[in-house]
Amino acid sequence: MSAMESFQSQQLFFDDGAFPRGFRRSGTFTIHEAALLEQYGVAMQQLSLGLRTPSTPDEQRFVLICQGHKEASTKLEKVWLKYLKNSRGKRLFSIGSSASLADNAPARSLAILDD
């Protein structure tokens, strides 16, 4: 069964929050990957969130991949995982902040001695 028979949707998929210039101009996806996301992304998103019941074996396999039970092997599966990885943004790590250091720092006094 092909993607044409599975993952059907009447809408194009966009994620203006994570990719405000679109998938094609993001620099993250190839032209072919961007086209796959736009055409099948609504169905893939609904399946991955549990908002749509899988109606084909391809869709059932896709749900298992989204749940982490299987490895991605088709272009659609791989591009969806790539989308998920890149749409979540980069994680920022912080060791500490100046505000928290200033609040917990011991009070210091400065004495000026005259001769």
In this prediction, residue 82 carries a pLDDT of: 97
Q: What is the pLDDT at residue 112?
A: 56
For range 82-106, the mean pLDDT: 68
DSSP 50: T
- DSSP letters, 96-111, are --HHHHHHHSPP----
Torsion-angle region of residue 107: left (phi > 0), alpha (psi -120 to 50) or beta? beta
Place of tokens 């200033």: 102
Q: Maximum distance among all alpha carbons in the chain?
A: 93
**Number of neighbours of residue 82 by Cβ within 10 angstroms:** 16
Integer Cα distance of 67 and 48 in angstroms: 8
Cα distance between residue 87 and residue 96, in whole Å: 26
Per-residue pLDDT, 88: 87
Distance CA 45, CA 26 (A): 19
**pLDDT tens digit string along 10-68?**
999 999 999 999 999 999 999 999 999 999 999 999 999 999 999 999 999 999 999 99
The reported pTM is 0.74
Residue 108 confidence class, pLDDT cut points 50, 70, 90: low
